[in-house]
Structure 1
Amino acid sequence: MKSLTFVSALAAVLLLGTASGRPLNAKRAVTTEVVYVTVSVANVIVYVDENGAPYQTSTAMTTNDAATSLIVSSTTSDLAPPTLESTPAAQLPSTSDAPAPAPGPTLSQAAPELAPSEVVPPPAAVTSTAVENQTPTEPTNVPPPPPTSTPEEPTPPTQLPPPPAPQPSVIDSQDNGHSNRLGMGVTYDPFTGSQDSARCKTEEEIADEWDKMKDYKAIRIYGMGCNIIPLAVKNVIQRNQKLMAGVYMSTRGNGEDMTQVIQSLKSAVDQYAGGNWDVVQLFSVENERVNDHDMTVSSVVDAINNARGQLRSLGYNGPVGAVETVPATIQNPALCEASDVVMVNCHAFFDTNTKAEDAGQFVKSEIERVKSACNSKRVVITESGWPHQGDANGQAVPSMENQRKALDSIRSNFDGDIFLHNSFDSTWKSDWASSFNAERFWGVIH
């Protein structure tokens, strides 16, 4: 009986030990398996023309390899489903609910969109040569070659690179540069002779002609040819006049070096004016080079900034700019913005509908257009006149009487900030297709 009781007790203890034992929850070794999945994706490319209309579609197959990590237990019993840890780049849609390919790129997506400032329409063709001065400008040592056989329209504005930081202008911004207005002026060149035998005027000839120009308040010269800079500074000081100086720039082989011109001007001011720059009231870097397709707008803007920087460092604080025709100025606002004052050549004779007695009113209306385009900046008319000999251009007829009428009309509309063109006949020049055989006969002093 005791044995039976002992056996029963032992069995109970064994059963109790089994029931109260720790659950089977041993840690399982975990391994990570990396599975590479190759997926082929179709890229649809739609080609469009310049108007945005599709004209071709193509499909390109690309292959992407995505790495997927599988975390699994080392045991084979009671395994939970494997956990997928995919990187965002490897998240792939199923084939059953894959979205449709994105639309093909449009023209603006295929290439960077141009900024508005980079899309510049070409200027309208010039319909009248009335505002284009076709007389060649002054070169360095010899007269420049005659202009092209046909009048040229202004060069389309080019895409401008960021210009160098301009030197600050000392002109009062409150009056838009209208201070220090010039009196009635006249243009002057130091050449004489004929086209085949042109030469520089002597110092005595220049002094004699300057005496004949004594009633004009300002004289314009175009460059440094024939040593004109020191002679001009000397003569204007002796007659209490002002000077508009400039550099004859060109890409056609006969242009002047800006630094050399400015240094010559500095030396003349030091020698004859005691270093007082007040004698020089304007400085131009070119004459109608944009209109004549000789220089780009950006190169002219760079030249203005370059000249201003050099002149400021030498003590000149007056206006610096470029001389252009009316249409070239209006169609290229960068020229207005870069110049301290706007400088334009404007000749009523080249408008077939303008009579001599209406020349002043025509020029005035053209200058109003320039002011409107240039934010009411001060405008100086650097050439305006009428020939006394040559062929008729419609209602514009050259003659001594008509020149007198035209000049009277100009004077009645302007009392300053204008240079009559030219002081004396330029017998060294030659005619061209649209000069109406008048190129040599613009002299206003007889």
Structure 2
Amino acid sequence: MKTGIFAITAISLLSAASALPQPYRVQNEKRAAVTNYVAVDVPKILVWVDQNGKPVSTQTKGQVSTYAVPQETAITKPPPKKDPVKKAEPPASPPPKPAVAVGANVGVEINAPKIPFPNPLAPFSGPKPTKEAAPTSAPSSNGISPPTKGLGVCYAPYKGDGGCKSKQEIDDDFSKLDGYNVVRFYGVDCNQVPNIISAAKKHNKQVFAGIFDIKDLDNNLKKFIDGAKSSWSTVATVSIGNELVNGGQASVGDVVNAVNKARSILRGAGYQGPVVTVDTFNALIANPELCKASDYCAANCHAFFDPNTDASRAGEFVKKQAKLVSDAAGKKTVITESGWPKSGQANGKAIPSQENQQLAVQSLKAAFGNDDEAGLFLFSAFDDSWKKDNGGTFGAEKFWGILP
């Protein structure tokens, strides 16, 4: 029996990879993400069939090749999940089967039409995710829950000149944080661990503690553990690193290893709560390993840096990104930073002002208000006059404070 052959030329797809911004500093700088596109040419596949069209064997010709295509800059939507070739939509009209005459040796080569890859820069107001997508409220794989109920706020214990605030000054700040149940801080310098935990106890709050520098992880963990003095009931979460992958300061593997090591050391010290790493929403979507190493997904997301989103839609934008992070990792996502500056330069539709800050905060609270757990930390409690502006933050770096 003779067989016929036909060849299907595989589809070239565009895969988007989010190029990460310039190094992130402890001052919490933000920048627009840059998306680089790479075209992937897949080898030609020959499929041998009999006269009835039934596949008999396959043969591969050619090699995989890649080449760069022009890049665009925006952050309106994070990059697609990995392995886009497997997840591409089929063509609207699939190519017809080759005609095979009985007893004849027929060879037909079919070039499949190119399918445009979904544009990752499109506005997020497009089609809603399918029902099969993992819900935002997906539990963490190890059963450890995110912070306790209530709204969180971010806090930095530094004076305007960059010096350390005293224990009394920190206590005075905490007295103004009514309405916030969990307070996030970022490091172990300035004796802030014992001073902040002391203020949190006095004002009936919990803390989301941070260890920013993973290059000296052992010493920083020791400072944190010594400063906490076994007040573990006050510690809602410990974060290892903040936007280190997004800022290019550490690799995914380095951060994952640091999280696992820190969790082991903290468990030995008596802390049994969540241990996470915090990064930007687009870095977490591109690298779900960061979420999987964490006890839940901890994402920073600021609608202000999307030029297509105004203040009144900040909550809608951020909630959308939280959903995408959870879809990528299959875990609950907590937004560990989100806010709006009250001064600075406009970024398209995102305009800094006192009124717009209030609109954005109201929008964020409305979007996350029905969550059973603290799914949102507003950024930040007070203006940070100690920070330095740069070209990527629209002159707004110092003006994110919600309280006077």
TM-score between the two structures when normalised by the length of structure 2? 0.66
Task: Return the match for 2:393 from 435, 441, 445.
Answer: 435
Task: Return the match for 1:189 from 153, 156, 175.
Answer: 156
Shift of 1:248: 1.1
Query: Match for residue 379 of structure 2?
Result: 421
Shift of 1:435: 0.7
Q: 1:180 to 1:186 in 2, by over 3 A?
A: closer
Shift of 1:178: 4.3
1:239-263 CA-partner distances (Å, limit 9, x unpaired): 1111111111266xxxxx3233333
Following the alignment from structure 1 to structure 2, what is the Cα–Cα distance between the partners of residues 133 and 388? Answer: 24
Query: Match for residue 174 of structure 2?
Result: 210
Query: Match for residue 22 of structure 1?
Result: none
Note if contact 1:391-1:397 (Cα within 8 Å) is conserved in structure 2: yes
- The one-letter amino acid of 1:244's match is F
1:295-354 CA-partner distances (Å, limit 9, x unpaired): 000000000011000001111111111100011101112112111111110000000011
Query: Match for residue 358 of structure 1?
Result: 313
Query: Match for residue 234 of structure 1?
Result: 198
Aligned CA-pair RMSD: 2.9
Q: Secondary structure at the match of 2:299?
A: strand
Matches within 5 A, 1:236-315: 236-249=200-213, 257-270=216-229, 275-315=230-270
Following the alignment from structure 2 to structure 1, what is the Cα–Cα distance between the partners of residues 312 and 221? Answer: 40
- The one-letter amino acid of 1:337's match is K
Note if contact 2:148-2:236 (Cα within 8 Å) is conserved in structure 1: no
Following the alignment from structure 1 to structure 2, what is the Cα–Cα distance between the partners of residues 219 and 433? Answer: 29
Query: Match for residue 329 of structure 2?
Result: 374
Following the alignment from structure 2 to structure 1, what is the Cα–Cα distance between the partners of residues 22 and 239? Answer: 16
Matches within 5 A, 1:29-68: none
Matches within 5 A, 1:105-116: none
Q: 1:187 to 1:229 in 2, by over 3 A?
A: same
- The structure with the largest helix share of the pair is 1
1:148-170 CA-partner distances (Å, limit 9, x unpaired): 9x65659999xxxxxxxxxxxxx
2:287 matched to 1:398? Answer: no
Matches within 5 A, 1:95-134: 124-125=17-18
- The one-letter amino acid of 2:351's match is V
Following the alignment from structure 1 to structure 2, what is the Cα–Cα distance between the partners of residues 310 and 211? Answer: 32
Matches within 5 A, 1:97-176: 124-125=17-18, 136-137=25-26, 151=32
Unpaired runs of 5+ residues, structure 2, are 1-13, 37-78, 82-138
Note if contact 1:154-1:327 (Cα within 8 Å) is conserved in structure 2: no
- The one-letter amino acid of 1:426's match is D
Following the alignment from structure 2 to structure 1, what is the Cα–Cα distance between the partners of residues 242 and 173? Answer: 23
Q: 1:233 to 1:123 in 2, by over 3 A?
A: farther
Query: Match for residue 43 of structure 2?
Result: none
Following the alignment from structure 1 to structure 2, what is the Cα–Cα distance between the partners of residues 154 and 315? Answer: 43
Q: Secondary structure at the match of 1:219?
A: strand
2:373 matched to 1:409? Answer: no
Q: Secondary structure at the match of 1:285?
A: strand
2:345 matched to 1:386? Answer: no
Shift of 1:136: 3.4
Paired positions, count: 288
Shift of 1:277: 1.2
- The one-letter amino acid of 1:184's match is L
Shift of 1:205: 1.6
Q: 1:152 to 1:294 in 2, by over 3 A?
A: farther
Note if contact 1:424-1:444 (Cα within 8 Å) is conserved in structure 2: yes
Shift of 1:286: 0.3
Query: Match for residue 325 of structure 1?
Result: 280
Q: 1:324 to 1:307 in 2, by over 3 A?
A: same
Following the alignment from structure 1 to structure 2, what is the Cα–Cα distance between the partners of residues 154 and 311? Answer: 37
Shift of 1:207: 1.3
Using CA pairs below 8 Å that are at least 6 residues apart, which structure has the higher relative contact order? 2
Following the alignment from structure 2 to structure 1, what is the Cα–Cα distance between the partners of residues 17 and 359? Answer: 32
Query: Match for residue 347 of structure 1?
Result: 302
Shift of 1:125: 3.3
TM-score between the two structures when normalised by the length of structure 1? 0.60
Q: Secondary structure at the match of 1:322?
A: strand
Runs of 4+ in 1 over 3 A off after TM superposition: 132-136, 150-157, 172-182
